């Protein structure tokens, strides 16, 4: 007994890596207590603080403002920190680029911090070295370089928007004028910048104000999905204008690869990517003439005419947005169009570029590789990225790196990836939550990136690496960033300025002031015309793992892509007609030949994909991503050259006869069942129909008295929780899924289990198509637990593991669950998720740090589901009750209580609150005519309801489309 109470070594409780990071930040004992909160009772000592850290109340999180960057653009965020462990990312509600919304990449980036596959030490040719050894090793070559003005030094970065880093590199270049700074990123804005050069003669950033846009024309721009700069803000502004009772906007999307933006369009015109330029030219031509044209013979012509008329009617309140991958001429044409329509400075603003060094990425990398092959490079510093994997194929960068032509190669990267393998030195890069920096948002506003935790593995930031080049030593990232801003904001109040900037998450007065650059010419040279040979091949960033950088992020790998609901793989996407001609079916493996290279991948037939066109997604087929990402999907970078970065003709597709399993989380994507009956799941009408009959979605729910039992009277309770989801606002951006996963410690199950239908997302976004397969309407429907008042699941549980609370929550008691799965069978919404195996990772120490301590880690054999974030309700309840006591009057939880999905939603499509408060926002929503219950006729009385979708169709086109819908045989 005594031995069990005091086992040997109990006081030496050591746990490899995690100690160091924590002990520095806080008292050891508390860290241990926190660490072990989720494990099986190891023996720990509890010792009081010697010095109480400021503001720390155990059990109460703290929030710090910082920023996440993607492609140089900052997403301003607030990070929730539990006892100095960052656990959750939220949008920064004060920041104009977020207003509280985030994107999937920012949400999931917290998992990257705790990724156990991150590089954990500095290595030289694979052997562990110290930071001192590294600085020693580069000191010699650096002093040699100093004598030749840095002639052999090349710095390769990703897009840099950090003013500090740019200033650091520039000052080094000033001191060593022969050194060169190259920039490369596979998902780049070369075409955007070239287009601006064509139109204005200089590189400008274009940003839009969608809150003032009545008519939006998207030319292949997926501006409502993460990765498009400013998407979070655009989504907020766009969604706010989708209210059919106010001045609703109208969205035309002319697009190639179907996107979630296209699915939200009032009119979607599918064309091949190379045909967009023709469309833009025609639009610009008739807009210029101002008095209409003959034409409109075919469908696209009619659409063109209708769009033109709509734009004419909304001069100054319309906007034309172009996708980054469209050639420069299309961008220039859009600038012309916006100018002609008088949108500039109303809905369209031009500013300085956010990018600190907006050089052409492909040219920049080309010149670097030329220098490398010519033996001109003595010291190559690669700051982040993964060029050995994602550089244009014709450069054969990997072989250039492998050869001995380059002297010393230093790679700063978070993972030991494909590029790290080819460099002698690999310095682990500190995660952005571990290091100091700064970055600009899409509107130029600078955010200070402040760390929330000491580097878990002693990683270094790019700032710190540059100091080595510059010969400085012992300068911290904090000092660098602070001293840079001290220079910008000299004065006695710097301290207050600095503290305020850190607190708010941005530096006041740094947003770019709009300019009015002069439009130079209207005769833009046509882009390389389509050769028309075989099929057009499109390269697109992957909606989940972007360019491959998130390949080892399990949340993103398992995130169902917005349209296909695919996980863990990238498909070869083609349209239905082409699939029929080639006799290809879902999951058939096809061989894709392009630029003389061949790859094989599984086919996905996407409704709405233009004919004779193929889309492939970048970022898969990594060989050194880590335990999660390695080996998923197939790599299409070998097909991509700098001449054909986005799309080109000349691809060939051949069936191979093999098949490959694709793990889609939604096997059936229409609301019409195979026997031809339509299920009323997403209710939709046109704006005109809605005005005539606003109550169209209301199904007759069975009367409440229709039961033998006396219904519980919820109106007597203080709270009755409810949720409303506006399907009109939802853009299918998937943010809520990742936010929920992060908040509720939801497990990742892997491809095998996903194939079996065992993914664990508590909240899913169903995507449905309706109409002809060539160009269907798309619908998104987020489905969390409906928290039914008459919950079918509760009745059938034999052990009372799922029971109803007096506030109307359908509570799940994990401890009681014995795992009969009867509740899930009886759930008509199928929102319950079961731990068929031990899905939660109970072992990896990093994940123990990451998890939300307010939410249980589930064991195997237990059912789980959405709880309306009951931990957040409890927290606010405690606050309200404490305040009630201290103020001597009853204080209730108000609308500041937000569920995780609601909080992260950039579209404000989800609202949650107290149904017993007549003034709550959720009640206001539910009183709307559009409010309806999903499967209401089952008398489940769901607390989660939906606001039906209304499309602002153009009557001119609508008639046409309706006849088409009637005549086209259903798919």
Partner 1 sequence: MATNTQIPVADRRVPVIAPGYTFSTITEKISNIVLSRPISLGWILGFLIVFGMMNMLMVALGYLFIKGTGIWGINIPIGWGFAIVNFVWWIGIGHAGTLISAILALLRQTWRNSINRFAEAMTLFAVACAGIFPLAHMGRPWLAYWMFPYPNTMRYWPNFRSPLVWDVFAVSTYFTISLVFWFVGLIPDLATLRDRAENPWVQRVYGLLAMGWRGSARHWHRYETAYLLLAGLATPLVLSVHTVVSFDFAVGIVPGWHTTIFPPYFVAGAIYSGFAMVLCLAIPIRAIYGLQDFITMRHLENAAKVMLATGLIVAYGYGMEAFMGWYSGNQYDSFLLWNRLHGPYRLVYAALLACNIFIPQVLWLKKFRVSTGWLWLISFIVLTGMWLERFIIVVVSLSRDFLPSSWGQYYPTKWDWMTFAGTIGLFLTAMWLFVRILPMISIFELRTLLPESQVHEAAEVKQ
Task: Give the binding site for partner 1 (CB under 8 A).
Answer: 666-671, 673-675, 677, 679, 681, 753, 756-758, 764, 766-768, 781, 783, 792, 795-800, 816-822, 824-826, 828-830, 832-838, 859-863, 935, 938
Q: Closest by alpha carbon to 265, among 688, 768, 970, 779?
A: 779
4 three-class SS: helix
* CA 908/CA 782 separation, integer angstroms: 13
* CA 303/CA 279 separation, integer angstroms: 10
CB nearer partner 1, residue 295 or residue 680: 680
Q: How far is the CB of 272 from partner 1 (least distance, A)?
A: 30
Q: How far is the CB of 573 from partner 1 (least distance, A)?
A: 20
Q: Which parts of 705-787 fold into alpha helices (H)? A: 735-743, 751-755
Beta strands in 541-587 (DSSP E): 566-567, 572-574
Q: How far is the CB of 909 from partner 1 (least distance, A)?
A: 18
Six token digits for residue 666: 């939604």
Q: How far is the CB of 560 from partner 1 (least distance, A)?
A: 10
Q: How far is the CB of 562 from partner 1 (least distance, A)?
A: 14
Q: How far is the CB of 945 from partner 1 (least distance, A)?
A: 16
Q: How far is the CB of 763 from partner 1 (least distance, A)?
A: 13
886 three-class SS: helix
94 three-class SS: coil
Q: Closest by alpha carbon to 263, among 725, 732, 688?
A: 732
583 three-class SS: coil
Six token digits for residue 855: 């939410």
CB nearer partner 1, residue 588 or residue 766: 766
CB nearer partner 1, residue 392 or residue 750: 750
Q: How far is the CB of 863 from partner 1 (least distance, A)?
A: 7
Beta strands in 71-144 (DSSP E): 73-82, 85-91, 122-124, 127-129
* CA 233/CA 353 separation, integer angstroms: 18
CB nearer partner 1, residue 376 or residue 821: 821
Q: How far is the CB of 802 from partner 1 (least distance, A)?
A: 9
CB nearer partner 1, residue 48 or residue 674: 674
Q: Closest by alpha carbon to 477, among 460, 495, 494, 490?
A: 460
CB nearer partner 1, residue 362 or residue 835: 835
CB nearer partner 1, residue 142 or residue 765: 765
Are 450 and 164 spatial neighbours (Cβ–Cβ below 8 Å)? no
Q: How far is the CB of 678 from partner 1 (least distance, A)?
A: 8
Please report, in angstroms and rounded to a whole number, the separation of the first and last CA atoms in the chain.
72
* CA 240/CA 909 separation, integer angstroms: 9
CB nearer partner 1, residue 449 or residue 863: 863
Are 224 and 731 spatial neighbours (Cβ–Cβ below 8 Å)? yes
Q: How far is the CB of 949 from partner 1 (least distance, A)?
A: 16
CB nearer partner 1, residue 119 or residue 791: 791
Q: Closest by alpha carbon to 568, among 628, 615, 637, 658?
A: 628
539 forms bridges with which residues in the sheet? 616
Q: Please list, in sequence order, all residues whose beta carbon lies within 8 angstroms of the beta carbon of residue 444, skipping any fewer than 6 positions away.
A: 205, 351, 352, 354, 510, 511, 512
Please name the residue that has the structure tokens 């489940």: 940
Please name the residue that has the structure tokens 């490079």: 377
- Taking 3-state DSSP, the helix, strand and coil percentages for the chain, each rounded to the nearest 5, stand at 30, 20, 50
Are 349 and 514 spatial neighbours (Cβ–Cβ below 8 Å)? yes
CB nearer partner 1, residue 600 or residue 758: 758
Six token digits for residue 310: 């709509």
* CA 468/CA 470 separation, integer angstroms: 5
773 three-class SS: coil
- State whether the Cα torsion 200-205-206-208 is positive or negative: negative
CB nearer partner 1, residue 23 or residue 837: 837
CB nearer partner 1, residue 628 or residue 863: 863
Q: How far is the CB of 937 from partner 1 (least distance, A)?
A: 9
- State whether the Cα torsion 185-548-447-483 is positive or negative: negative
Q: How far is the CB of 818 from partner 1 (least distance, A)?
A: 5
Q: How far is the CB of 795 from partner 1 (least distance, A)?
A: 5
Q: How far is the CB of 257 from partner 1 (least distance, A)?
A: 22
CB nearer partner 1, residue 156 or residue 797: 797
Q: What is the CA radius of gyration of the chain?
A: 28
**Rounded to the nearest 5°, which phi and psi values hold at 585?**
-125, 170
Q: Closest by alpha carbon to 349, among 339, 357, 340?
A: 339
89 forms bridges with which residues in the sheet? 79
Q: How far is the CB of 667 from partner 1 (least distance, A)?
A: 6
CB nearer partner 1, residue 828 or residue 894: 828
Are 303 and 269 spatial neighbours (Cβ–Cβ below 8 Å)? yes
CB nearer partner 1, residue 600 or residue 821: 821
Strands 647-659 and 613-617: unpaired
Q: How far is the CB of 788 from partner 1 (least distance, A)?
A: 11
Please name the residue that has the structure tokens 């009959």: 693
CB nearer partner 1, residue 20 or residue 804: 804
CB nearer partner 1, residue 75 or residue 770: 770
């Amino acid at each position: 007994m005594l031995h069990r109470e005091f086992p040997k070594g109990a006081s030496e409780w050591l746990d490899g890596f995690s100690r160091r990071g924590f002990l520095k930040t806080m008292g050891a004992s508390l860290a241990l207590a926190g660490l072990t909160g989720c494990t099986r009772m190891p023996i720990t000592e509890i010792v009081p603080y010697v010095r109480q850290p400021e503001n720390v109340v155990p059990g109460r999180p703290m929030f710090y403002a910082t920023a996440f960057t993607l492609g140089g653009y900052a997403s301003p965020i607030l990070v929730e920190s539990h006892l100095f462990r960052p656990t959750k990312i939220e949008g920064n509600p004060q920041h104009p680029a977020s207003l509280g919304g985030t994107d999937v990449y920012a949400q999931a980036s917290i998992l990257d911090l705790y990724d156990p596959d991150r590089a954990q030490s500095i290595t030289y040719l694979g052997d562990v070295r110290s930071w001192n050894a590294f600085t020693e090793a580069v000191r010699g070559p650096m002093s040699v370089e100093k004598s030749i003005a840095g002639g052999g030094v090349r710095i390769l970065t990703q897009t840099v928007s950090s003013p500090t880093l740019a200033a650091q590199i520039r000052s080094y270049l000033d001191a060593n004028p022969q050194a060169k700074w190259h920039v490369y990123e596979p998902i780049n804005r070369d075409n955007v910048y070239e287009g601006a050069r064509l139109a204005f003669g200089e590189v400008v950033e274009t940003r839009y104000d969608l809150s003032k846009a009545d008519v939006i024309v998207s030319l292949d721009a997926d501006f409502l999905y993460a990765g498009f700069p400013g998407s979070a803000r655009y989504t907020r502004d766009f969604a706010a204008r989708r209210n059919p009772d106010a001045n609703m906007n109208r969205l035309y999307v002319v697009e190639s690869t179907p996107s979630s933006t296209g699915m939200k369009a009032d009119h979607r015109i599918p064309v091949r990517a190379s045909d967009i330029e023709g469309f833009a030219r025609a639009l610009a031509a008739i807009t210029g003439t101002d008095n209409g044209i003959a034409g409109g013979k075919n469908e696209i012509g009619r659409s063109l005419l209708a769009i033109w008329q709509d734009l004419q009617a909304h001069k100054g309140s319309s906007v034309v947005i172009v996708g980054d991958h469209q050639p420069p001429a299309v961008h220039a044409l859009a600038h012309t169009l916006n100018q002609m329509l008088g949108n500039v400075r109303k809905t369209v603003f031009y500013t300085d570029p956010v990018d600190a060094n907006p050089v052409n990425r492909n040219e920049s990398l080309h010149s670097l590789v030329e220098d490398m092959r010519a033996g001109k490079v003595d010291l190559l510093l690669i700051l982040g990225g993964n060029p050995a994997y994602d550089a244009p194929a014709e450069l054969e960068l990997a072989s250039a790196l492998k050869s001995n032509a380059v002297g010393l190669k230093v790679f700063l990267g978070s993972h030991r990836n494909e590029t790290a393998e080819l460099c002698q030195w690999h310095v682990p890069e500190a995660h952005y939550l571990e290091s100091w920096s700064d970055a600009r948002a899409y509107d130029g506003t600078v955010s200070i990136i402040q760390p929330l935790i000491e580097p878990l593995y002693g990683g270094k930031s790019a700032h710190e690496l540059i100091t080595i080049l510059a010969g400085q030593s012992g300068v911290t990232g904090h000092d660098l960033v602070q001293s840079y801003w001290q220079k910008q904001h000299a004065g006695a109040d710097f301290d207050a300025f600095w503290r305020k900037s850190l607190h708010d998450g941005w530096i006041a007065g740094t947003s770019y002031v709009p300019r009015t650059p002069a439009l130079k010419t209207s005769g833009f040279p046509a882009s390389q015309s389509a050769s028309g040979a075989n099929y057009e091949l499109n390269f697109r960033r992957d909606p989940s793992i972007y360019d491959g950088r998130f390949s080892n992020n399990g949340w993103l790998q398992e995130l169902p892509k917005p349209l296909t609901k695919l996980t863990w793989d990238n498909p070869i996407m083609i349209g239905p007609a082409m699939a029929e001609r080639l006799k290809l079916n879902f999951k058939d493996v096809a061989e894709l030949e392009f630029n003389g290279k061949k790859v094989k991948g599984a086919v996905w037939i996407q409704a709405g994909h233009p004919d004779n066109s193929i889309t492939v997604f970048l970022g898969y087929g990594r060989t050194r991503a880590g335990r999660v990402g390695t080996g998923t999907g197939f790599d299409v970078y070998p097909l991509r050259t700098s001449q054909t970065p986005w799309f080109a003709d000349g691809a060939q597709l051949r069936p191979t006869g093999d098949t490959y399993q694709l793990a889609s989380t939604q096997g059936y994507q229409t609301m019409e069942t195979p026997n031809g009956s339509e299920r009323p799941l997403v209710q939709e009408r046109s704006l005109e129909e809605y005005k005539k009959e606003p109550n169209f979605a209301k199904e007759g729910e069975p009367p409440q008295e229709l039961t033998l039992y006396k219904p519980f009277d919820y109106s007597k309770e203080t709270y009755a929780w409810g949720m409303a989801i506006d399907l009109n606002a939802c853009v299918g951006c998937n943010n809520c899924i990742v936010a929920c996963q992060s908040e509720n410690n939801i497990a990742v199950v892997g491809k095998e289990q996903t194939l079996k239908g065992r993914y664990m997302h508590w909240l899913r976004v169903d995507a449905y198509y309706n109409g002809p397969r060539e160009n269907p309407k798309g619908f998104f429907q987020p489905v969390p637990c409906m928290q039914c008042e008459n919950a079918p699941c509760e009745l059938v549980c034999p052990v009372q593991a799922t029971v109803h609370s007096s506030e109307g929550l359908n509570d799940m008691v994990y401890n009681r669950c014995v795992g009969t799965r009867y509740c899930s069978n009886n759930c008509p919404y199928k929102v319950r998720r079961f731990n068929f195996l031990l899905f939660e990772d109970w072992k990896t120490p990093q994940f123990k740090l990451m998890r939300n301590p307010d939410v249980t880690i589930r064991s195997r054999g237990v059912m789980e589901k959405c709880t309306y974030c009951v931990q957040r309700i409890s927290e606010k309840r405690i606050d309200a009750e404490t305040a009630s006591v201290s103020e001597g009057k009853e204080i209730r939880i108000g609308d500041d209580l937000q569920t995780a999905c609601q909080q992260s939603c950039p579209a404000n499509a989800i609202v949650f609150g107290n149904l017993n408060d007549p003034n709550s926002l959720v009640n206001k929503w539910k009183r709307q005519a559009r409010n309806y219950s999903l499967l209401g006729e089952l008398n489940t009385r769901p607390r989660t309801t939906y606001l039906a979708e209304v499309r602002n169709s153009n009557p001119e086109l609508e008639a046409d489309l309706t006849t088409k819908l009637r005549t086209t045989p259903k798919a």
